[in-house]
Amino acid sequence: NKISLTKIRTEAAVTLDSQQVELMGNIELPQDVDEVFENGAKSVGLFRSEFLFLSRDDLPSEDEQFEAYKAVASALNGESVTIRTLDIGTDKIPRWFERGSGINPALGLCGVRLTLAQPHIFQTQLRALLRASAFGNIQIMFPLLSESRQIRQCVQHVELAKQTLREEGLPFNENIKIGGMVEIPAAAINVAGFLKDLSFVSIGTNDLVQYTLGVDRGDDQVAHLYNPAHPAVLHLLSHVIGTANRLGKEVSVCGEMAGDPRFTRLLLGMGLRKFSMHPASLLAVKQVVRTTDTALLGEKVSEIITQDDEDLVAPLLDALNV
């Protein structure tokens, strides 16, 4: 199977009815772009920048971060890289991070909440990102948003970082695109409001499933309840993708669902045309894209996303994939 898939490495990600689909890689460190290229993708839909902050005692300096972001941006030859700002506090915890007193870290000071509370860390990273934007096609993305005010605060932080760079005469892309992650149900439900101030959204299904179902994504004892095909999750996905498409804004999925070929047709049927995933999944997903006629998906997908019982979803999903 692996061998036969490598044959489509250089083929286009296009459906039988000529729909162009963008398949992008998720990376954790700059050197991971090699694996993205090896698997036939050209752009990066999610660079999890927090990995630059892990396995060390101190914070990475602005210059260190700049070099890492610049390396990826230059390697991509003008194709886009979406770099997510520091996303820590739940499963990924650096040594310097002090846990709060709450008993639910995933509901505490994590993701963008943490960087908004630590303006110094935020400014250092934003300056590094902006400086690197002079060397390639960088987009900035904020994780774990729950309200519009956070977006406005993030935009203000970007403006401040731009201002300091201007004063120092350092080059950056004035029109850098700013997007956000949809990972909390409130963000999914209210995505139209979010899109007033964002150029794009990317759906982080790993967290969206966790927060929608109230199931810890890393807890084995409740792993049987962690179900991306739950009707409530599918309802939110369909709402976010449909709303963004209607508003003419870019939308992608960058959680595990994007790299699971079992969900490729369903997501295409919801209107998704951008998928970002672990590089190892790229060819398997491309294979499904190339054997799908989206014009034939409508009725079956509507039937799946209007189910209200998770046990009814599974057989319909299987039928969609034959």
Q: Which residues bind ligand PEP (CB under 6 A)?
A: 46, 48, 87, 183, 204-207, 254-255
Shortest Å distance, C-beta 16 to ligand PEP: 29
Shortest Å distance, C-beta 183 to Mg ion: 5
The amino acid at 238? S
The closest of 113, 114, 123, 65 to 94, measured between CA atoms, is 114
- Residue 170 CB partners (closer than 8 Å, separation 6+): 131
Binding mask 154-193 for Mg ion (x = CB under 5 A): -----------------------------x----------
Query: Beta partners for 274?
Result: 22
DSSP 20: B
Residue count at the site for Mg ion (CB under 5 A)?
3
Q: What angle do CA 52, 93, 162 make, to 5 degrees?
A: 45
- Which residue, 158 or 181, has its beta carbon nearer to ligand PEP? 181
- Which residue, 210 or 307, has its beta carbon nearer to ligand PEP? 210
Shortest Å distance, C-beta 117 to ligand PEP: 19
Q: Site for Mg ion (CB under 5 A): which residue of 89, 136, 179, 204?
A: 204
Please provide the size of the chain in residues: 322
- Which residue, 217 or 273, has its beta carbon nearer to ligand PEP? 217
List the single partner that 250 binds among ligand PEP, Mg ion, none, CB under 5 to 8 Å by kind.
none
The closest of 49, 54, 107 to 81, measured between CA atoms, is 49
The closest of 270, 203, 211, 200 to 235, measured between CA atoms, is 270
Residues near Mg ion, by CB under 5 A: 183, 204, 207
